[in-house]
Structure 1
Amino acid sequence: MGKKAAAGIGIGLAGALVVPYLLVGGASSALDGLDLEGVACAMIDKSVGGGLGLSTEQRANASVIVSVGAQMGVPVRGQVVAVATAMQESGLRNIRHGDRDSLGLFQQRPSQGWGTAAQIMNPRYSSSKFYSRLLAVKGWQDMPVTNAAQAVQRSGFPDAYAKHEGKAVQVVASASEGGVQQINSTSGCTPMSIPASYNVAGYVSHALQQVGKPYVWGGTGPDGFDCSGLIVYAWRQMGYQLKVRTSQQMHNVSIPVPSGQERSGDLIFSEFRSDGPAHVLIVVRPGLAVEAPRTGLDVRVREYDAASEGLRFGRLPENQMTKISAQV
């Protein structure tokens, strides 16, 4: 559910590529053959060489950046911007030197109003100052990561932050309660901050079991659903209550996932407007989604094409879920 009544994905494709819809007679058939192993793993960038390669100091500093952002209510995308910035400016090291009077993780300058030298050398202080200025940038959430970072830093190398985005996403994705884990070179990845893979498989299964039920604006089941209500309901059946309700809220807190790297259980955002996406779907497997589309169309499974539909992908972090004692 978006903040406004969305026309739905079918209408959004008028005049564009017609994507075929696949109606599923039984939920189990849609799950047959799906590889759900490791769906709860953080995104892997193989160029990293099987591990993030962060030192103890770097992990500690990244942990501070992520935890300060979470405490300030900064969306996940903002945390990615902050980590990427610190990677470029200091290599995630709290250094006492830099260009002119630049100091610390973000190379902030006392002479430019960032605080005293002692304050800037405090990672929690410097992180909060970075976030405060980022949040003051109009439209930062719609900017590429490197542009958002540059709007705060005003660097002589404005495009330098871009190369750190992938690794920064991995750091934020693997953060759990403010702690940063590394990619495991043996298994491919460590569990990211989202419930275990069997829960993801179960959540997708519960969503698929709703196929054929009507779209109802504001509906969270069991008899009818809107687009985000289907997601809330499916997670609730697995014993998790989401802290977010609308498609815009889900987009704001989700960990970005590049197109082509989405996995079963990830979210698909579409119909973007000034206030964010008006529609959200669930990835069944890459290329196939389950959705509650719009009034007049029942819950269904359909194929999707990310490029032609302008879709974006995200993964809900565990800090947006509360374990409940019973399914309700």
Structure 2
Amino acid sequence: MNPVLLAASSRRGRRGLAVLALALAAAGVAFLLTTMSMLSTAAASPSMSGLPCPSEAVAVGDGDGKTGLNAHQIRNAQTIIAVGQKNQVPTRGQVVAIVAALQESNLTNHPGGDRDSIGLFQMRPSMGWGTPKQLHNPTWAAGKFYRALLSVPGWEKMSVNDAAQAVEKSGFPDAYAKHTKRAVQIVASIGRGTADRAQIDTTGCTAAVDTPAGPTRDALKTMLAQVGKPYEWGATGPDSFDCSGLIVYGWRKAGYQLSARTSQAMHTLTTPIKKGQEKPGDLIFTQFRSGGPAHVMVVVKPGLAVEAPRTGLDVRVREYDPGEKMRFGRLPKSALSRTSPA
């Protein structure tokens, strides 16, 4: 072949390859941006609002007789949760994935199932979920499940059952609901090892309040029931709250009017208590400035508090360390006046 023609042909080939590479790169960037957008949207959504709190821990190791998890199931649950955490899927989404795996396979990585169903989520190659080899890989299958979940419009506001069904499209559409409480237990226990503690504790549940029945217990349970609702400065509920507004709302629902509205006013009227002596219902003050504390939260039990943190973060339950810069205070009876429960 003529050397000149050969060189020109080579140049055209190189230009073609360059154009193809640019096109592939652009497609990759578009996919990445779309995925990041989906994950960002999901991460901003409420985590586990409205779900039950775990009533008992799930053992991570050789299994747990109370929940029936064995070592194989635990490893699979760890994988599902870890994939969700790595991709910034909200805690609620991790619960949906565990619920689906409990229903479809009992957290067992089956090599087969109904027709050509495979793996933890009993996905079918014939339905476009992937190859048999891919679907038998728990990490790959979990990632596939989360991508499908995040593509469902409004999944965050669905019940766990409906969100799982939107992905699985089962012939038994209401079969997932019965696994919700167990899935919450699994995520709350197993997820603690690698996830942000505050994320796992933001459960939107009515946690067990370790205090005798009475107004304090009622107020705390009301505050805990607000987990997952947005922070809004100056708001006292029922749809949004600031830090002190959450406390005012909780006591109002319990049938008491609190004589202080702001964190500074609450700090002024509370009786100081030493760290380590706090009880459920006591207040924790932080972010001290010249005018007093800018933030207040409430002890659920020693080491755990409920709070409306700040703009951009929903009401949540979080662990606290007594070593943090904080002060504890107890509301005197004189600070509460009896009314009719709101």
Structure with more helix by fraction = 2
Taking structure 2 as the reference length, the TM-score comes to 0.48
Taking structure 1 as the reference length, the TM-score comes to 0.49
